[in-house]
Amino acid sequence: MSENSKEKIVIAGAGLVGAMAACFLGRRGFEVEVYESRVDLRRHDISAGRSINLALANRGIYPLEQLGLMDRVREMMIPMRGRMIHDPKGEQNFQPYGQSEDEVIYSISRGDLNRLLLDAAEQTGNVNIHFSHRLDSVDFDTNSAVFINEETGSEVDVDFTRLVGADGAGSRVRAALVAAQDGSDSLEPLGHSYKELEIPAGRDGSFQIEKHALHIWPRGGFMLIALPNLDGSFTVTLFLPNKGEPAFETLQTREAVSRFFDEYFPGVDGLIPGLVDDFFANPTGKLGTVRCKPWHIADKAILIGDAAHAIVPFHGQGMNCGFEDCAVLDECIGQHGPDWHQVFAEYDRLRAPNGEAIADMALENYVEMRDSVNDPQFLLKKAIGFELQKRWPDLFTPRYGMVMFQRIPYAEAQRRGEINQQILDRLASGIESVEEIDWDLAETLVKKHLGSTALTA
């Protein structure tokens, strides 16, 4: 421990990912100083300006287990077993995510989980969290950062031996890290934004729609979704293009919003009292993809979470990927510490390709959620995929399952997913139901194309 106590690790950001990194690093005996621009959400009732609930999946659960936090986290989780599709006539159709009992994802409150992680970080005894301190700039020549104390408006100079950038999509650690090297940095807007609404709990905290599902009202170019909360309410999110018709730009009047929901989401206004008021009261959130390179600078700093790879939310993997970053970093420290050059280089080598892959897959999944779930051909391929998985569970896993229920690297899931897709295209060609699958062809294709790359996770 004497080696670790010489380190002063500064983490910029105490959101979900920054707080988890503090848990891992504090547990190893490092002196950890966390600076967070917002106030302490354990003492103030604030909306973080981010989505209220999230989907926790396998990759996010694993690091929470390593930290011994899952007993407490489990109490916060609501299993979602699949997608409940709401068609334009108001009818519902359930599409399971997986085939076994444990192939589910979990709705969880961002705020509750963040509070738990902040407590856990402090309980390591090695973590100090400074709230209301906004990162201004970083100097990698002197290993120092300037934060602004939001209460006094004064600069605070902070030295570090290592710096962890967990300061989100607009990361200033990223800006400094990229500028100090020959790095690249890009922000690509999606062109669609989101608006959060709420379906309140029914009488006695009952759930007004199916509790154990992620609800989707897919409408081709846009969609509405809803995730359950413990108190019986659902957080509802509208995803819609910024421009065009329909689009956020044309929803400027109460009448337009009311007509829009009536036309595309009949019945929803009955579930959301004050829908139109909330629509105008709540902010419109932006969506985009941040990609950058590299994710580290020498032995000085690394990026984790959205600071390295802000992605669109359609695979529910933003937090999960960030948590996985923390676990991989911890493994790199275990393997290569205290050679921080090696720790950071290895972290970058392991994580950056996976950040690229999940960014791509999250973009693709928007089309799946808002559109493909209505397509008979898509549903047939999904059904064929489940059949292949039943027969050859060691060889064939649907891509959704690889991303959500397993921990094989995202890039590998993406690669195998492309092979899956080719196999499913072949098998679905010319048939209309799983009963017609050409099993000889299926066996040949699966064994030939996936046989040599059996899942190792």
Report the nearest approach of its own copies to the CB of residue 298 (Å).
Answer: 14
Contacts of 162 (CB under 8 A, 6+ apart): 7, 8, 9, 10, 299, 300, 301, 302, 340
In whole angstroms, give the CA distance from residue 94 to residue 101: 15
237 sits near its own copies (criterion: CB under 8 A): no
Report the nearest approach of its own copies to the CB of residue 248 (Å).
Answer: 10
**In the 8-state DSSP scheme, what is residue 134?**
E
Contacts of 410 (CB under 8 A, 6+ apart): 317, 321, 354, 355, 357, 358, 361, 403
175 sits near its own copies (criterion: CB under 8 A): yes
153 sits near its own copies (criterion: CB under 8 A): yes
182 sits near its own copies (criterion: CB under 8 A): yes
Report the nearest approach of its own copies to the CB of residue 255 (Å).
Answer: 25
Report the nearest approach of its own copies to the CB of residue 243 (Å).
Answer: 9
Name the residue nearer to its own copies (CB basis): 154 or 456.
Answer: 154
241's enclosing H/E stretch is: strand 234-241
Name the residue nearer to its own copies (CB basis): 248 or 340.
Answer: 248
49 sits near its own copies (criterion: CB under 8 A): no
Residue written as token pair 């995929």 = 385
| Piece in contact with its own copies (CB under 8 A), picked from 71-79, 148-156, 221-229, 322-330 | 148-156
| Piece in contact with its own copies (CB under 8 A), picked from 182-190, 328-336, 360-368, 379-387 | 182-190
58 sits near its own copies (criterion: CB under 8 A): no
| Piece in contact with its own copies (CB under 8 A), picked from 54-62, 82-90, 119-127, 131-139 | 131-139
CA angle (74, 373, 317) in 5-degree steps? 35
- Give the CA dihedral 121, 125, 130, 136, nearest 10 degrees: -80
Contacts of 456 (CB under 8 A, 6+ apart): 408
3 sits near its own copies (criterion: CB under 8 A): no
Report the nearest approach of its own copies to the CB of residue 187 (Å).
Answer: 5
Name the residue nearer to its own copies (CB basis): 175 or 404.
Answer: 175
Query: Within 267-296, which residues bind its own copies (CB under 8 A)?
Result: 286, 288
Residue choice 88, 90, 191, 334 for contact with its own copies (CB under 8 A): 191
> Nearest to residue 290, comparing CAs of 318, 328, 330?
318
Name the residue nearer to its own copies (CB basis): 155 or 277.
Answer: 155
189 sits near its own copies (criterion: CB under 8 A): yes
Using only C-alpha atoms, the chain has a radius of gyration, in whole angstroms, of 23
341 sits near its own copies (criterion: CB under 8 A): no
139 sits near its own copies (criterion: CB under 8 A): no
Which regions of 242-280 does DSSP assign to beta strands (E)?
A: none
Report the nearest approach of its own copies to the CB of residue 247 (Å).
Answer: 11
Please check whether residue 276 is in contact with residue 300, taking contact to mean a CB–CB distance below 8 angstroms: no
Residues forming a β-bridge with 215: 84, 226
CA 29 to each of CA 8, 64, 301, 334: distance values in angstroms, whole numbers, following the listed order: 10, 18, 18, 12
Report the nearest approach of its own copies to the CB of residue 282 (Å).
Answer: 15
Helices (H) and strands (E) in the chain, counts: 16, 19
Residue choice 5, 100, 123, 179 for contact with its own copies (CB under 8 A): 179
125 sits near its own copies (criterion: CB under 8 A): no
Report the nearest approach of its own copies to the CB of residue 19 (Å).
Answer: 23
Q: What are phi and psi of 452, to 5 degrees?
A: -85, 0
Q: Using CB under 8 A as the criterion, which residues of the chain lie in contact with its own copies when the complex forms?
A: 134, 136-137, 146, 148, 153-155, 170, 175, 178-179, 181-191, 193, 242, 286, 288
